[in-house]
Every structure is written in structure tokens, then in C-alpha cells.
Amino acid sequence: MTHFARKDLVGLADLDPDEIAHILDVADQFRDLNLRPIKKVPTLRGKSVVHLFLEPSTRTRTSFDIAAKRLSADTFSISGSSSSATKGETLLDTARNLAAMHPDILVVRHRRAGAPRMLSEALPNTAIVNAGDGACEHPTQGLLDLLTVRRRLGGFAGRTVTIVGDIKHSRVARSAIHGFSKLGAEVRVCGPATLIPPGIEALGCTAYGRLEPAVRGADVLMMLRIQQERLHLGSHYFPTLREYSRLFGINREKLRRWAKRDVVIMHPGPINRGVELEPEVADGEWSVILDQVENGVAVRMAVLYLVLGGRRTAASEGRA
């Protein structure tokens, strides 16, 4: 029996705990494939995946591309600077034109919150997978964060996850809050009052304005990037990066004084070293940052597989 019967993956807010757990189970199986000498299976042979990335990306874009290729799908990549968006074409027109070429999946990153949901409604015959929309959601990042914690800690019940930093502009934080709280963890968010949006607690978390009480007792610290491209630094949010780092950055000394000895340090990347994380922590024994990246490929393989029905196709079995 499949536990995932959706055409699209737009956000973790839409999913129930069983669906999330099922994606993680499938991803765990794909992890093994990524460790084999031959990292390719015919599961999505004959399928095509278009990556439409209208915002920059290193990890997500490469990870989706590797995931699709390891499943034998054909992949096509379009970036903002190389698309006709630069000539004024709307996102909907771009997507309708791409859909007319009959891809099976459109993976979309867009700076506007809600763009993937709009496409999921407008394109009934194309699966839409959200690779990050504005400050709304980044569901595959949330899933890879969940997989990383599940593999490290064994589960979520009785665990506390603290998310630190720019909660206001973070799609990573929103997907993490939905995912960890649905699977039974306690979720805390922490940052300057200016970067904690009013009403965030309605998503199922507790807000903290100081780092020490948010760190004490936490099993996981998820440090977020200060998003300099969205913040217009020097204006409204905090006095200086140095001040932010003093109050909300994590270094070895703060971990020694406040954190559990075996606390797990996560970061979605890219890291501002010396701002939210000192290199001694980012590269230290607490860090699972590269495990997150590794698990991202398996999660994206699982998502691509499941939105196409989670079945081996006739072509993949060599019977087409």
C-alpha cells in the first residue's frame, strides 16, 4: 500500500505524518544505492524532469539533478538568467510552454512565495515539486533534515529541535517546523525579535528571544543563514553582523556552557562562517551538515519516485 498519493510536493504543511514517514522510509532505501559503485537504476527510465531554478542554488539543484539521473530520468535545466523570463515572460507562461513539451515533473525554485502552488493548480498533467519558494517552504530540505535527525537520534518523540536565526525570511524554518512538529518533536525558534514573525507559534513551535534558554536541553540546533540578499543589512533588523553573532551565533564556548554534550548541529547551507556558526563548530564533531547534503540526494530520489506514483514503470522494467 502506498502512503503517498499526491501529484505534487508543494509543502510539508500539506502532508500528514504517515506520508512524511513514508517518504523518509523510501529515502532510506535509496541511500544505499548512493553508496554503491554503480549508482543508477532504471526506475524512471523514459521519464523527463525539468529543473526550473529562477533563484540561485548549489545544493538543491545539483542534488535534484543527481537524484533524477540516478533514477535514469532525462533531465533539463533552466536558470533565470538563461530563460525568457529575462524578456518579461511570466512564470505561468513559461511553465505552460514547458508543460506543452510533456515533461513528467517540473522542479521549481522561485523567489515568490506560492509560485509552486499556483503551478500545481494550473498544470494538471505535470507533477510540481517545490525546490524553495520565497519565505514559504522548502519541503525537500525539511525532509532531508528529518531523515538526518532520524538516522542520528533514532526518532523524534521526546526530542527538542531549536531553530536559530532569521526565522522571518526562512522557508527552511517553516518546512522544519511543520515536519519536526508533525513527527512529534518539540520545536523552538530563536532569534532577534525583528526576525521572529508574529504568529509563528501557531505553526506548532515556541519562540525565544535569547539563545541560552533556547539551547539548554535541545537535542538539535539548526542554525540558519543570515539572508543578506533579503535583509538589506544595516537597515531594520539588527545593529551589525558582529552584534548578531555575539548574541545568536554558536561557538565552542557557548556549546560547552549551555548545550547537551551530544547536541547535533545542522545548517542548510550556505554558511556565513563567523556569523551564525564558527568554523570550529561547523566542521566539528557535533556537525551533521554534510550528512544533510548526502541525505538530500536520497530524499529527492524518493520524492521524484513517489510523485510519479511510486511504481516501477513498464519502461523501467525493460518491457516497453
Q: Indicate whether 79 belongs to the interface with ligand CP (CB under 6 A).
A: no
Question: Smallest gap, in angstroms, from Cβ of residue 290 to ligand CP?
Answer: 12
94 binds ligand CP (CB under 6 A): no
Told to check if 57 binds ligand CP by CB under 6 A, we report: yes
Q: Is 60 in the site for ligand CP (CB under 6 A)?
A: yes
| Among 43, 94, 126, 141, contact with ligand CP (rule: CB under 6 A) | 141
Q: Which stretch binds ligand CP (CB under 6 A): 57-65, 69-77, 178-186, 248-256?
A: 57-65
Pick between residue 60 and residue 75 the one whose CB is nearest to ligand CP: 60
Rounded Cα distance, 41 and 33, in Å: 8
Q: Which of 13, 73, 63 is nearest to 305 (CA)?
A: 73
Which stretch in 37-45, 52-60, 119-127, 278-286 sits in contact with ligand CP by CB under 6 A? 52-60
Kindly identify the residues of this chain, within the stretch 232-271, that bind ligand CP according to CB under 6 A: 268-270
Q: Minimum distance from CB of 140 to ligand CP (Å)? A: 9
Shortest reach from residue 44's CB to ligand CP, in Å = 22
Can residue 272 be called a binding residue for ligand CP (CB under 6 A)? no
* Beta carbon of residue 132, minimum distance to ligand CP (angstroms, whole number): 6
State the minimum distance, in angstroms, from the CB of residue 59 to ligand CP: 4
Q: Is residue 59 a contact residue for ligand CP (CB under 6 A)?
A: yes
Residue of 29, 58, 228, 240 interacting with ligand CP (CB under 6 A): 58
In terms of CB distance, is 103 or 132 closer to ligand CP? 132
Asked if 132 is part of the footprint of ligand CP (rule: CB under 6 A), the reply reads yes
Give 116 or 132: the residue with its C-beta nearer to ligand CP: 132
- Residue 65 CB contacts under 8 Å (≥ 6 apart), including other chains: 51, 75, 77
Strands (E) in 92-147, as ranges, are 105-110, 127-133
The answer to whether 233 touches 241, Cβ cutoff 8 Å, is yes
Q: Report whether 268 contacts 293 (CB < 8 A).
A: no
- Cell reading at 234: 544595516
- Contacting positions for ligand CP (CB under 6 A): 57-61, 132, 138, 141, 268-270
